[in-house]
Structure 1
Amino acid sequence: MAGYPHGKGRIRSSAQLTSAAIIVTMRVVVIGSGIVGAGAAYQLSRRGAAVTVVDGGYQGDATQAGAGIVCPWVDHPEDDDWYRLTREGARRYPGLVEELGEDIGYAKVGALLVAEDPADLEPVRSLLRRRRPGAPEMGEITDVSTPLELFPPLSDTLSAILVPGAARVDGRAVRDALLRAAVSMGAGVRTGVATLTPDGRVLLRCPENGGRPGAQDLAPENAAVAGETPAVAVGGTAHPLTAQDRTGGQGASWRQAAPSAPGSRVSATATASPTVAPGTTASATVAPGTAAAAAGEAVLLDADAVIVAAGAWAGEVCRPLGVELPVFPRRGQILHATLEGVDTAWWPIILPRMGPYLLGFPESRVVIGATVEDVGFAPRVTMGGLDEVIRAGLRVAPGLFNATVTETRVGLRPVYAPGPALIGPLTGRVVVATGLSAYGLTAGPFTGQIAAALALGETPPIDITPYAPNTR
């Protein structure tokens, strides 16, 4: 299969076929090929299940645009459920790297928490001390008197503490490695727009021309409504977004999300899934614009279980089940810059009290981001968004002034309005796994592991009660 060749990413673990004799005939369809879906496909395949992954190919896929920060210990100080999920996700990365046996851009480079006023570091220092006994992998927290020695472009006015266990990872590389490993064990990958029938079967519509559908295939961008409180509209009920919602559920976390760029549009209706017209049949239950992008024949995929890992599009995929999932997209724009001739591969992650984050990668690359914009399904890089990222980045690291902007990326992060991530069964056949917000690359593979366990009828590795969907 093009893009996911056999013979690469083979598993080294002896547990590869542990339950194969029991579940070898079980068929599972995974809707979504981002990091959660890929993680689920990998775990299912190594247990012997027959797996089909549906790659929607939507523009704005969050995995493709994630920066790659793995540092859960500084976030969600008052939300143990969120923290538990991200901590366990981070904890499992070293083992995953060993299993996959290939370079996924993972490296423990440490994180510098920086602030102009040293007193501003005290709350996060206290948080880290409190959490360290339960997370020794974060390493010994130390003060850094001259942080620019570790990250040369930084302002010389900053104070910092170092969290040595923090890591960065290449989200695209992780996702591709997981899919390659799944394919090498027999999984298939199909491209098209997938929706569910009322009884939980998968209906796949493939583009006639073989092209990839775009973000508009499930929801158009909506205009702002002046004076209205931003909300997620679900089943005719508006769910206002709280301050915690706007920061990806971070509350008073150290790594606060930056405010949206001036002039960015926050829509009261953009976060709602499009409504299916009355009288529409299940086989045609697709959002406005889908028909144009996926006008080919609909195919019913046989499955004993279905995992919906469709990111911000999960609510629309699941709508035919008669459930309303308040999942909406949050746009994040980031940029990649290069410092010619400078070795940035082992620079630490930079986490200011208020955005932006900065981190180095091989090939003289530095990533800066991200905007936080509730603008609906609008995966566009904007002038205002880039201006916000560049100005904020140069305040923290003025030494990047002459860096070359080499790439911009934009992703639609899936946010679950009521609280932390959304993971659990919707019906006896369908499991949903989404809503990781800005923490997809931290917790994505682990969330896929949870979803795989649920689909196979196994006990998940952690208690999923806090993340279970409320379908009432």
Structure 2
Amino acid sequence: MSTYTVIGGGIAGASIAYHLAKTGNSVTVFDRSDNGQATSASAGIICPWVSQRRNKKWYRLVQEGARYYPDFIQELEETTKQATGYKRSGAICLFKDERIQQLAYERISAKQDGSPEMGDVRKLTKAEVKEMHPHLTDSYPAVFVEGGGQIRGESLLSALKEGIHLHGGKWIQQDLNPEEEKGTVIYTAGAWAGEYYDVPLVRHQRAELLHLKLEDESHSKETPVVMGLGPMYIVGTDSNQFAIGTTHEDTEDFSIAPSRENQQYLYNEAKRYFPETTIRNQFMAVGLRPFTRDSLPYIGWTDDHVFAVNGLGSSGLTAGPVIGREVAAYLAGKDTVLNLDDYAYL
């Protein structure tokens, strides 16, 4: 048995702590529950196969993350008896015309051989989009990815915290006193990483989401997540309730006060995608997303007793669980599926 001190209880820290605790290690998590934690604010889309990013190391990470999700969630929910909000209801990816739809279909479906977990991939007409998601505009054709899903960040963290306790770990909701460091330090402080250690260098963005309710309740079926045009996405959060986002704002401060300008922007986007239904504003969620060099997560040693994980950005909820599995195996000297040297680039 080894001893670990985890600093930061976002998705990376919680997942690493859970996987370490369930294999019999002594684990203590210190988490301040800072407002703006990216995990809690995120919409939680699990659909990495549609990304156009060309960074192969990043894609291997999120691809393995999506592959691991169903088994991971089943085990976690059975262990803790808590729901995580994980659903695989598919993803509708909208495109402005049929030509771009065809190119996207070819690009996405080409990944099926390496990722059978993504399921069926097919083109949707505008009418089929409307049938699948009655509230949604019928202005755009789409590609449907059967394996796309979503997770509730707050619910997942709650289940992980319970799992850590059940496996004998500790979760202390306060800042770390350096005298309380024991064993190996796992440093996963997200956007706040510079407070204890300045390696790796971490920057962050404010990301805002608008949570809204649709007045028309004639359609209440469960709907797929929607990948809109550009950076927009829409995720169902409850019956006729959705979150739409996101904004991307580089910043050096830690304010999580919602921006009226961004709220209006997202409200206008919501009217674009839900043109036939009255929209009721509910609230804005603001998260601070951490990024490291080249927007590639850092996973590796930064000192002789400090192992850092940071920079998960917008893919944190996709990659976090599998990072927990892989880091726990690596620290135990066991084989890993991913080559973690790809992410230890200091």
**TM-score when scaled to structure 2?**
0.92
Letter in 1 for 2:318: T
C-alpha deviation, 1:459, in angstroms? 3.6
Structure 1 counterpart of 2:210 = 335
Partners of 1:302 and 1:416 in 2: how far apart?
Answer: 25
Q: In structure 1, the residue corresponding to 2:339 is in which secondary structure?
A: coil
Does the 8 Å contact 1:307/1:455 carry over to 2?
no
Structure 2 counterpart of 1:256 = none
The root-mean-square deviation of aligned C-alpha atoms, in Å, is 1.8
- Which of 42, 55, 58 is the matching residue for 2:34? 58
C-alpha deviation, 1:141, in angstroms? 1.1
Q: In structure 1, the residue corresponding to 2:206 is in which secondary structure?
A: strand
Partners of 1:177 and 1:425 in 2: how far apart?
Answer: 28
Structure 2 counterpart of 1:466 = 342
Structure 1 counterpart of 2:117 = 137
Q: In structure 2, the residue corresponding to 1:453 is in which secondary structure?
A: helix
Structure 1 counterpart of 2:140 = 158
Residue 30 in 1 paired to residue 6 in 2? yes
- Which of 257, 260, 272 is the matching residue for 1:380? 257
Partners of 1:37 and 1:160 in 2: how far apart?
Answer: 36
- Which of 282, 299, 302 is the matching residue for 1:406? 282
Q: 1:116-265 maps to which residues of 2 (within 5 A)? A: 116-145=96-125, 146=127, 147-194=129-176, 204=177
Partners of 1:380 and 1:52 in 2: how far apart?
Answer: 31
Structure 2 counterpart of 1:219 = none
Letter in 2 for 1:394: K
Letter in 2 for 1:378: S
Q: In structure 2, the residue corresponding to 1:329 is in which secondary structure?
A: strand
Q: In structure 2, the residue corresponding to 1:412 is in which secondary structure?
A: strand
Structure 1 counterpart of 2:68 = 92
Partners of 2:3 and 2:145 in 1: how far apart?
Answer: 43
Where relative contact order (Cα < 8 A, 6+ residues apart) is larger, the structure is 2
- Over 4 Å off, 4+ runs: 342-345
Structure 2 counterpart of 1:423 = 299
Over alpha carbons, which structure has the higher Rg? 1
C-alpha deviation, 1:345, in angstroms? 5.9
Q: In structure 2, the residue corresponding to 1:134 is in which secondary structure?
A: coil
Q: Number of residues paired by the alignment?
A: 338
Does the 8 Å contact 2:258/2:285 carry over to 1?
yes
Partners of 1:353 and 1:428 in 2: how far apart?
Answer: 45
- Which of 102, 105, 110 is the matching residue for 2:90? 110
Does the 8 Å contact 2:101/2:123 carry over to 1?
no
C-alpha deviation, 1:103, in angstroms? 1.6
Is 380-389 or 334-343 further displaced after alignment?
334-343
C-alpha deviation, 1:192, in angstroms? 2.5
Letter in 1 for 2:225: I
Letter in 2 for 1:27: T
Structure 2 counterpart of 1:40 = 16
C-alpha deviation, 1:179, in angstroms? 0.9
Is 456-465 or 87-96 further displaced after alignment?
456-465
- Which of 362, 365, 381 is the matching residue for 2:238? 362
In structure 2, the gaps of 5 or more residues are none
Partners of 2:316 and 2:11 in 1: how far apart?
Answer: 7
* Richer in helix (by share): 2
In structure 1, the gaps of 5 or more residues are 1-22, 195-203, 205-298
Does the 8 Å contact 1:53/1:190 carry over to 2?
yes
Partners of 2:204 and 2:218 in 1: how far apart?
Answer: 36
Letter in 2 for 1:166: G
